Structure 1
Amino acid sequence: MMRFACRLLSALVTILCCPVAALADSTSLLSQANAANPTRYQFAVNNNAEIRNTSDNKAFTIWWQPSTGTPAGVLVTLHGHGSYASDEFYLWQPYLQAKGYAILALQWWFGGGETVADYYQPHEMYPIIASLLKEKGVQPGTVLLHGYSRGSANSYAVTALDTSSGNRYINMTLSNAGGAAADFPPNQQIAAGALGVSPFSGIQWVMYCGELDPDPTINGCPAMTAAKSWVTQYGATVKLLIDDPNGGHGGFMLSSSNVTTALNQFVPSPRTPTDTSTADCLFNWAEKAFAQYFAPAGSASQNSTPYRYRYYAGTGNYLASNAADNHIWALGTATGGQLLDLGPAAGFLGSAGCSAP
């Protein structure tokens, strides 16, 4: 009997003292978010935000757009550790309303626990984001992705998934106090080339760090300085690293100047990517019109973000379309081994008899 009592006491201590993994469903998680901060949750309700369960019934999204018409841009935001989409909505919405931007806040923590299974992983959250953006008619090149803390740590992979998918909704990423950990499996995939040679090509980047962050090598300025170099290595253009001498881990939102400075770097730039059928049509035309450079004809098209390309072994040349800038590029013996920009794909469509995507 005494042994049973000890086991029971041990089990109770484990339950009470250790984090409990989430057994979330969307409705209970919404109630939990409301209970955690009723003011912030009610703020979303009062602003007529669209709060929707995810299709897997594990989490929810919050969407809001100005009533004045089509938003000029969209902020997609990923909350931090142990937080809620309603927190991000509450903090961001006034700034976005002033800019005429919409907001999509994803609840990607399931409400309990700290294991990988207690959060959406990048490959799980990106389809949710992309599906809603498509439904809302959001144009490629008009999205600013923001991630705070743990959300920032996932922002790198979500950005790479967007570019590698060909959707290219994201124009700029704001990584806020969360570095690009080398041992994080999605980042290892990026480094291994699984999402393309330059998965951040065409992406503008802004980063924030607080000098008073208690975990400088994970979330603070050393971590973000390293992240700046890392994303640049894979094609990104880092426009700004906000180094806040008075900022702690959550310092970004505590200073309106930080927020407005970051938002002012974002310039939504709608773009229509050259789709695969258009690229292949242009390649087929070039093989006939310029056979001396691109032979033998009929090589298989391949993809390496942001390029779709063909290699012509007979002439030692590559011909490629670039989804980041919608230009046609050449590389090889004909260009002296230099990557040569041949100009916008749209400029060749008429001569080639190809249709725009």
Structure 2
Amino acid sequence: MRSDRGCTGVLRAGCGLVAFLAALGTSLAAQADSASLLAQAQAADPVRYAFVVARNTEIRATSDNKAFTMWWQPATGKVPAGVIVPLSGHDGWAHDGIYLWHAYAEKYGYAILSLQWWFGAGEATDDYYRPEHMYPLIAAALSDKGVKPGSVFFNGFSRGSANSYAMAALDHAATGRRFFGLVLSNAGGAAANYPPNQQIESGAFGPLPFSGIRWAMYCGQKDPDPMLSGCPAMTAARDWVVKHGASVVLFIDDPNGDHGGFMLNSANVETALASYAAILATTSNVLSNAESDCLFSWGEDTYAALLSPRRPASLVSAPYYYRHYAGTNTYVGVSSADNHLYLLDGRGALSDLGPAAPWSARAGCR
């Protein structure tokens, strides 16, 4: 990191490992896990690591001190048009995501956020972050950067793809954060015996946990494990996410591609980015939870007789982020499926009040 930033909480070119630990304000022992993993990452591929650091990539220890995140954005002084969040395959490093996506991100003005989700040894489930532990770290980093809902291109490769389904459910149905505008599952199917997918199937995230999510998928006809990560697996995954409410906007079936063929063929990448760009054009209609809360509170003050008592807790039931008013048994919610505002009155009549964004503007919430 440049000396004018003082290395506070961040590692950049010119800051050593000791400076990184000192900047975090904790002892070497307290930071041993994050620090040793960072050192291991650097040793694993010095060329890619140097590439990332040389481009002023911001590197931060995760809040649990188990790993780290990498954030790169174009040096334009402008807010990035979007954010690419890659999730690597097995034995992957966070700097791989920056290295592989950098040229495309620079071309289109996107930032990149990459989490080190493998702990550096082993292949068991606990040698990686589980989705329920990984998603809050990614969401916190996105919030810290002021990233808007619907503006993230989340993509998982191989083992990362196998976890993309649970990550999408957490983003949309479980938390209602709705950062992900497009999810790409790249050569990793939705295994029926994987506990997070079993939770989705059992209804733990609601009847349609993927409602409102736009999805892309990639498979290579030459993938050596067709039933795990090849085209039969990805076709089944496509049907499964659609069953649970997703809209699959792109399915790349590459006749010449193998397991890693998505990134090896720039046409595949550009096709996915074109879908992402089209989605980004609509993000102005997406409300964050905080904006929805502001709108609900305005409604309670404006229509007090209907929406009472005021300030009930906001809840999530995909695709809705909503409040229930026990005094009149009325529900008001914003749907992630179409970003409309809905009202369900005490008689059970559902009214579509139209796009939520104009209501939010009227309420002074944007």
CA distance in structure 1 between the aligned counterparts of 2:81 and 2:149, rounded to whole angstroms: 12
1:272 to 287, 294, 299: 287
1:267-299 deviation line (CA, Å, top 9, x unaligned): 32243235245336547866846xxxx9xx769
Q: Does the C-alpha gap of structure 1 residues 127 and 203 become closer, same or farther in structure 2, counting only changes over 3 Å?
A: same
CA distance in structure 2 between the aligned counterparts of 1:51 and 1:277, rounded to whole angstroms: 33
- 1:309 Cα deviation from its structure 2 partner: 4.8
CA distance in structure 1 between the aligned counterparts of 2:359 and 2:184, rounded to whole angstroms: 35
Q: Provide the aligned length of Structure 1 versus Structure 2.
A: 324
Question: Residue 346 of structure 1 contacts residue 356 of structure 1 at CA under 8 Å; is this kept in 2?
Answer: no
In structure 1, list runs of 5 or more residues that go unmatched.
1-23
Question: Residue 153 of structure 1 contacts residue 180 of structure 1 at CA under 8 Å; is this kept in 2?
Answer: yes
Q: Bigger radius of gyration, 1 or 2?
A: 1
- 1:151 Cα deviation from its structure 2 partner: 0.4
Give the corresponding residue for 2:198. Answer: 188
Q: Does the C-alpha gap of structure 1 residues 33 and 319 become closer, same or farther in structure 2, counting only changes over 3 Å?
A: closer
- 1:254 Cα deviation from its structure 2 partner: 1.0
Q: Percent identity?
A: 55
Matches within 5 A, 1:1-357: 25-68=33-76, 69-163=78-172, 164-267=174-277, 268=280, 269-270=283-284, 271-273=286-288, 274-276=291-293, 278-279=295-296, 282=299, 288=305, 303-309=316-322, 320-329=333-342, 341-347=352-358, 356=365
Q: Does the C-alpha gap of structure 1 residues 334 and 146 become closer, same or farther in structure 2, counting only changes over 3 Å?
A: same
Task: Indicate the larger mover: 75-84 or 320-329.
Answer: 320-329
TM-score normalised according to structure 2 size: 0.79
CA distance in structure 2 between the aligned counterparts of 1:79 and 1:151, rounded to whole angstroms: 5
Question: Residue 295 of structure 2 contacts residue 359 of structure 2 at CA under 8 Å; is this kept in 1?
Answer: no
Report the 3-state secondary structure (helix = DSSP H, G, I; strand = E; otherwise coil) of the residue aligned with 1:25.
helix
- 1:128 Cα deviation from its structure 2 partner: 0.8
CA distance in structure 2 between the aligned counterparts of 1:56 and 1:314, rounded to whole angstroms: 42
- 1:302 Cα deviation from its structure 2 partner: 5.1
Question: Residue 171 of structure 1 contacts residue 202 of structure 1 at CA under 8 Å; is this kept in 2?
Answer: no
- 1:211 Cα deviation from its structure 2 partner: 0.8
In structure 2, list runs of 5 or more residues that go unmatched.
1-31
- 1:78 Cα deviation from its structure 2 partner: 0.6
Question: Residue 292 of structure 2 contacts residue 334 of structure 2 at CA under 8 Å; is this kept in 1?
Answer: no
CA distance in structure 1 between the aligned counterparts of 2:149 and 2:365, rounded to whole angstroms: 15
TM-score normalised according to structure 1 size: 0.81
1:156-180 deviation line (CA, Å, top 9, x unaligned): 1111111131221110011100111
Measured on the aligned residues, the alpha-carbon RMSD in Å equals 2.9
Question: Residue 211 of structure 2 contacts residue 336 of structure 2 at CA under 8 Å; is this kept in 1?
Answer: no
CA distance in structure 2 between the aligned counterparts of 1:99 and 1:43, rounded to whole angstroms: 19
1:42-71 deviation line (CA, Å, top 9, x unaligned): 110111111222222211111100011211
Question: Residue 287 of structure 2 contacts residue 357 of structure 2 at CA under 8 Å; is this kept in 1?
Answer: no
Question: Which amino acid counterpart does residue 170 of structure 2 have in structure 1?
Answer: L
CA distance in structure 2 between the aligned counterparts of 1:141 and 1:347, rounded to whole angstroms: 17
CA distance in structure 2 between the aligned counterparts of 1:327 and 1:64, rounded to whole angstroms: 33
